[in-house]
Amino acid sequence: MLNSKQDFIDCMLKMADPLIPYFSEKKARLHLGDTGVYYNKAAVSMEGISRLLWGFVPLFAGGHRNEKWQEIFKSALTEGTNPESEEFWGTFSDKDQKFVEMAAISYGILFARESVWDVLDEKAQDNLADYLYAINEYTLPECNWVLFAVLVNLALKSVGRKYSAEKLEKYLDLTESFYSGDGWYRDGDSNQKDYYISFAIHFYCLIYAKLMENEDARRSELFKERAMIFAKQFIYWFDSTGEALPFGRSLTYRFSQVSFFSACVIAGIEPFTLGQMKGLIARHIENWLTRDIFDRNGILTIGYGYPNLIMAEAYNAPGSPYWAFKTFAFLMLPDEHPFWSAEAEPFPELAPLSSQPFGDKLMYHYGNHAAAYPVGIFSPQGHGQSVAKYGKFVYDTCFGFNVAKSSYNVFENSPDSMLAFEVDGDCHVRRISLETNISEKETWSKWNPYPGIIVETTIVPDENGHTRYHKVTSEVECYAYDTGFAVACRDEDMAEQKTDGGTATVENVFSVCTVSGSGEAVVLDNSPNTNVLYRKTKMPAVKYFIPRGKTNIVTRVDARKK
């Protein structure tokens, strides 16, 4: 059990130290892999280095000396921002990935100035200040990115360097415009309510509140109040074992899922007791360390439960997963802080059902697993596998979800937790919903999977699973599969399957899912590596014939973690 401050320090260093051989001579280049990404190699190197700072800044700020890593960061910041160096990170363009990575460097200046800024010579400080200021001279996407510029300008101001008071205020006002209500923000123009609300917007706002609680008391208090409200809903995204909900994009950041609660601790707010938050954080990290998330050299991989490029986004570079180090924010707490002496407590008692209309979901907490019932709202721009990451009827901490290899046949599409229409050999599922509603007890969505097919779906969760009610209006004859969860069937899971009339079941040593309806029960093999948690899965389903005209379908899904 992770418990003491030294436990967590050792945990982080065990993940960071294997990277040391992959730094360049002057430390401003870090080569962790050869997979592609939309930005250039210099930005890839900057990202890999800066994301480590999310963990090392609180380590340094908390009083821990590590000369080896301090020298690495000193050299990297010196060479990476020096236009005359062969390891210079390069110039900028609008919406540049390097602006993202400036946030962690600014975090360092703000919380660990002695280790990140004061150690630099005068020329290196000048170069770094000029480099950071450039964020004010280019266009940023109007989303969580604007808070990177807030941190940059706060950092420059804190060391007496040129900063933009105008941009600082502008981006804080823009963040305010993202607020929807009930503790929830929008991520700019995106309709996606995913982990970016917790590990980005709330995280940075709580950092701001910690830094500015005296100078900007009004905003700081507001950010804390909203985080308190949000926390009471976000807790439903975790189960009592510490597992988090696999949902949305950027899942390769893995244990950053719990970093919101780390930010709560350093900002001095307690939506739950310190012991409960400590227990959740510790169990969450420990769970991740049992999964195959590192390669043979000890480097975090792109993927989720195992290395997996199928589910990745275009902005996932080899160093991207170290965003997870944001979770170690609590290492900045002084040794005498009560967090360190607190006993790790069990998960808080929760009412089973939580309606979260501002989060576009109905949540049901089953104790040892938790489920989300979203209504199919997400950004039309997409980032990769958006339909799989946002469009399913239900997501669960125990089962994970599938991403599609293609739309060709059910095997390659692997459409778990969906009503999948098979037309001319291709699968068509719920994409972005046309209309939606979330009540206290059920969700409703209207969607158009294929030209000439309209579906209205009502989902009612309960203590054993959920019931789906579909009203299908179709201009084409076809078949549709109403599918359950993807159940792990790796060699070690001892999975069994059976069908009986209109009921299909897949069961393994730790979970079971049963789907029942008036159609033909089937068990579908999913293409390998499509599930984000497990390499091989099967899913129970009921296959229905869809005639032209109107058809009503009722499907029951029962699922549990043993």
**Res 1: pLDDT:** 82
DSSP summary character for residue 334: -
Maximum pairwise Cα distance, the chain: 77
Which of 253, 11, 196, 71 has its CA nearest to residue 79? 71
CA-CA distance, 252 to 526, in Å (whole number)? 21
What is the three-class DSSP state of 402?
A: strand
**Res 32: pLDDT:** 97
Q: Report phi then psi at 263, rounded to 5.
A: -65, -35
DSSP summary character for residue 520: E
How is residue 51 written in tokens? 């994301």
Contacts 24+ apart (CB under 8 A), 99-102: 99/135, 99/138, 99/140, 99/145, 99/148, 99/149, 100/47, 100/145, 100/148, 101/43, 101/46, 101/47, 101/49, 101/50, 101/51, 102/50, 102/131, 102/132, 102/135, 102/148, 102/151, 102/152
pLDDT tens per residue across all 562 residues of the chain: 899 999 999 999 999 999 999 999 999 999 999 999 999 999 999 999 999 999 999 999 999 999 999 999 999 999 999 999 999 999 999 999 999 999 999 999 999 999 999 999 999 999 999 999 999 999 999 999 999 999 999 999 999 999 999 999 999 999 999 999 999 999 998 889 999 999 999 999 999 999 999 999 999 999 999 999 999 999 999 999 999 999 999 999 999 999 999 999 999 999 999 999 999 999 999 999 999 999 999 999 999 999 999 999 999 999 999 999 999 999 999 999 999 999 999 999 999 999 999 999 999 999 999 999 999 999 888 889 999 999 999 999 999 999 999 999 999 999 999 999 999 999 999 999 999 999 999 999 999 999 999 999 999 999 999 999 999 999 999 999 999 999 999 999 999 999 999 999 999 999 999 999 999 999 999 999 999 999 999 999 999 999 999 999 999 999 999 9
Which of 493, 481, 485 has its CA nearest to residue 543? 481
How is residue 39 written in tokens? 């930005």
Residues 6+ apart with CB under 8 A from 324: 253, 254, 255, 256, 259, 300
How is residue 59 written in tokens? 């380590």
What is the three-class DSSP state of 518?
A: coil
Q: Report phi then psi at 119, rounded to 5.
A: -75, -15
Instruction: Let me know: does 85 contact 79? Beta carbons within 8 Å.
Output: yes
Place of tokens 């700020």: 61
How many other C-beta atoms can be found within 10 angstroms of the C-beta atom of residue 178? 20
Domains recognised in the chain with CATH numbers: 5-341 (1.50.10.10), 367-561 (2.70.98)
C-alpha pair distances (Å), 24 with each of 84, 87, 354:
16, 9, 50
How is residue 521 written in tokens? 């029960």
For the residues of 27-81, what is the DSSP string, one character each? SS-B-------SS-HHHHHHHHHHHHHHHHHHHHHTT---HHHHHHHHHHHHHHT
CA-CA distance, 284 to 234, in Å (whole number)? 14
pTM exceeds 0.95: yes
CA-CA distance, 151 to 139, in Å (whole number)? 16
CA-CA distance, 133 to 543, in Å (whole number)? 58
Instruction: Let me know: does 417 contact 372? Beta carbons within 8 Å.
Output: no
Instruction: Let me know: does 258 contact 272? Beta carbons within 8 Å.
Output: no
Which of 375, 379, 395, 383 has its CA nearest to residue 456? 375
What is the three-class DSSP state of 512?
A: strand
* Terminal Cα-to-Cα distance of the chain (whole angstroms): 22
CA-CA distance, 277 to 464, in Å (whole number)? 27
